[in-house]
Structure 1
Amino acid sequence: MDILIFADARPGHFRQSEGLAAALARRSEVRVRRLEVRPRPVLKGTLLRWLVRAHMPLALLLRLACGLGPGTIGRPDLIVSAGSDTLAANVLAHRLTGAPNVFIGTIRDLAEDDFTAVLTTFPSQAMRPRHVLAAKPTLVDPDRLPPPRAIATASDLAGASLAVLVGGPTPSHRWSDDDWTALATRLGALARETGARLLITTSRRTPPEAIAALEALAATGAVETLAIFGRAPAVPLDRFFGADALLVTDDSATMVFEAVAARRPVVTLAPADRQPTRDDEAFDDLASQGLIRRLEVVAVAPQSLVEAFAAIRPKAAHPAELLLAALAPLLAPAGLNPGKSSGNAGRTDA
């Protein structure tokens, strides 16, 4: 299967597309080609989608809006993308080639008929035509990870590995210096009081204030691993996803879904000044399924974490299998049947 991925500038988006390709590779041989899309500022957002709905000449719109010639599209078997900047390219390539297309996210004001399938994490969107409710695709493969240690009592924290995935400020998540200090202080107390092993990694959005607080914590000897984004040596992400339980700041839905895919207890952490977001619907759905628990940073304490970890029930099935089963009814009429195994696991070629 030849898969064409349209990628924007955000790794959190194109990793989802790559996660779907990796899931499909469990069923058949997969070849992946990635095209970067950078819509011109004057032709972005609402205006670009209006031009797509107006059915302007495909070749002209592809070149004007996406900087792509029709010859660059080729003849893919499947088109995949995530992120609003890739919406136009996804639809235009689908119209140009007739290949089935999948978009991961919200299609805004475009018509459902322009998509073969739309993956959404929002239950309120799942009833729309051609939409399917599913977790965000991810490259996290729980089969590569060690089985987690069960944490049911405070004594179980002794020697347990706790991964902490740290994001950063967004318009809705106003992480302050006090929040970062509180996070580092409470993690330090947790390690001292319980003997838990802390594995901490930051992201591209983690600010210097947070890094300074975490480095000060590491200097006390309370942290087994501290990986700062962009600094050598790089630490494989499987080291964090393979921890016994995970704490994830909830400013990144991608990080939360990646943690859930690891099939171990996940607790999300919020700063004191957090505004409601669209992702709350997805997080509440995960919580209702018993896959995560949501806490504020100030609530991080041994007892609250033990209660949260003990209440969480990760999915028994591999997340890729759940994703393929959800997609099968929409892709099968287009000649693709991801719900059935060919008997040979494939691989993706970058």
Structure 2
Amino acid sequence: MPAPAPALWTLTDGAAGNRRQAEALAAALAGTARRDLVLAPRAPWRWLAPRRVPGAARCFDPALAGGPAAAPALAIGCGRQAALATRLLRARGTRTIQLLDPRLSPRHWDLLIVPEHDRLRGENVLTVRGSLHPIDDAWLAAARATWAPRLAGLPAPRTGLLLGGPIAQVPWTPADLDALLDGLAAEARASGASLLVTGSRRTPAWAVQAVHARLGSLPGLRWFGAHDGENPYPGILACCDRLVVGADSVNLLSEAAATHATLHAAFASRAAGRHADFLAALRGSGRLDGLDAAPLRELPRAAAWVRERLGLGDPPSPTATPVETVPIRRA
């Protein structure tokens, strides 16, 4: 007989931000083994997700095609594609938690957790400030233990610059980036500080070139992909005195806000819509613009709410548990 499915699944499209949120909540909820599914839904259903149109059950293959016996007790989805998968699993008896606004009525899921700058509200909806992530004091201590010896040669104070990329709601330009880099470089030269810069998959090539050109030989490090070695992102969060984060990334801002470093949002004047709302909430909490507010960490509150609403009992012990990652490809 095949082995039983783990009691908890996470379902995402594989995007780093979506995986990070779903897996962080899963780890906080359950000390049992889990399965992390990476979805690649077929057209035309992926275009219409999370709407459950005729034939939607054929959207995913093969792990979601089984009968009730193959379904987990609990599933956590993050993102629009995952919202269709969690709907399908709920029809087979799985209790479902959906992260981010699925743009449909909350009645299609057991529980939803959405950023407060989204508009979704409901009796089964919890709003959180920013995004979920695993960063707490234990996470930071582990990152510091790994990275502090590698960064010890960089002069203090250390400033970390976390770059994403321009988006419709935060359309920063080459001129905006040049002004930011010139200001940081002038500060570093005046104080003898170091600059540690990382990019993301959304960081355009012209931004990478600008960083290298304008920061030149200033002490620090620059990381824009695997060709630059191991990603120093955990070390930057754990070891920097100040963090400057692009206003285009709610995920990066949320994680930086969970540290003890002072926090500034780059390109904040360009932000509109939900991104501007999130920046206003961070500023109102005292966590932004260099103020010394307590770290912002929403995961414990979200996990406690889920456990209470679903009757899941006590949180897990910190011991490691088996995790299986399953890519679900199109046939």
TM-score normalised over the length of structure 1: 0.77
Residue in structure 2 matched with residue 203 of structure 1 by the alignment: 200
**SS of residue in 1 equivalent to 2:181:** helix
Q: Considering only aligned residues, what root-mean-square deviation do their CA atoms show, in Å?
A: 2.8
Residue in structure 1 matched with residue 66 of structure 2 by the alignment: 71
* In 1: Cα distance, 2:310 partner to 2:121 partner: 17
* In 1: Cα distance, 2:39 partner to 2:67 partner: 12
Q: Could you tell me how far 1:251 is from its partner in structure 2?
A: 0.8
Which amino acid letter does the alignment assign opposite residue 95 of structure 2?
Answer: P
Equivalent residues, number: 304
Q: CA offsets per residue over residues 95-134 of structure 1, 9 Å max, x none?
A: 11x222111100212x322222111111674741211122
CA shift in 2, pair 1:260/1:327, >3 Å? farther
- Equivalent residue for 1:276, pick from 267, 272, 275: 272
* In 1: Cα distance, 2:118 partner to 2:199 partner: 32
Contact 2:117 2:274 in 1 (8 A): no
Contact 2:248 2:271 in 1 (8 A): no
- Equivalent residue for 1:90, pick from 83, 86, 92: 86
Q: Could you tell me how far 1:48 is from its partner in structure 2?
A: 4.1
- Equivalent residue for 1:3, pick from 8, 30, 38: 8
| 1:93-104 correspondence runs (5 A) | 93-96=89-92, 98-104=93-99
* In 1: Cα distance, 2:138 partner to 2:195 partner: 22
TM-score normalised over the length of structure 2: 0.81
CA shift in 2, pair 1:348/1:129, >3 Å? farther
Residue in structure 2 matched with residue 285 of structure 1 by the alignment: 281
* In 2: Cα distance, 1:212 partner to 1:330 partner: 49
Contact 2:9 2:36 in 1 (8 A): yes
Contact 1:13 1:83 in 2 (8 A): yes
* In 1: Cα distance, 2:134 partner to 2:245 partner: 17
Q: Could you tell me how far 1:29 is from its partner in structure 2?
A: 2.0
Residue in structure 2 matched with residue 114 of structure 1 by the alignment: 108
CA shift in 2, pair 1:280/1:15, >3 Å? same
Which amino acid letter does the alignment assign opposite residue 312 of structure 1?
Answer: D
| 1:1-350 correspondence runs (5 A) | 2-24=7-29, 28-45=30-47, 47-51=48-52, 60-63=55-58, 65-68=59-62, 69-71=64-66, 74-96=70-92, 98-109=93-104, 111-122=105-116, 125=119, 127-134=121-128, 135-146=130-141, 159-220=156-217, 222-242=218-238, 243-270=240-267, 274=270, 276-291=272-287, 293=288, 308-309=289-290, 311-315=291-295, 319-332=298-311, 336-337=312-313, 340-341=314-315, 345-347=319-321, 349-350=323-324
**SS of residue in 2 equivalent to 1:66:** coil
* In 2: Cα distance, 1:75 partner to 1:212 partner: 48
CA shift in 2, pair 1:346/1:29, >3 Å? farther
Contact 2:101 2:118 in 1 (8 A): no
CA shift in 2, pair 1:37/1:219, >3 Å? same
Q: CA offsets per residue over residues 279-329 of structure 1, 9 Å max, x none?
A: 3333322222222x2xxxxxxxxxxxxxx32x230238x654233223333
Structure 2 unaligned spans of 5+: 1-5, 145-154, 325-331
**SS of residue in 2 equivalent to 1:285:** helix
Structure 1 unaligned spans of 5+: 149-157, 294-307
**SS of residue in 2 equivalent to 1:39:** coil
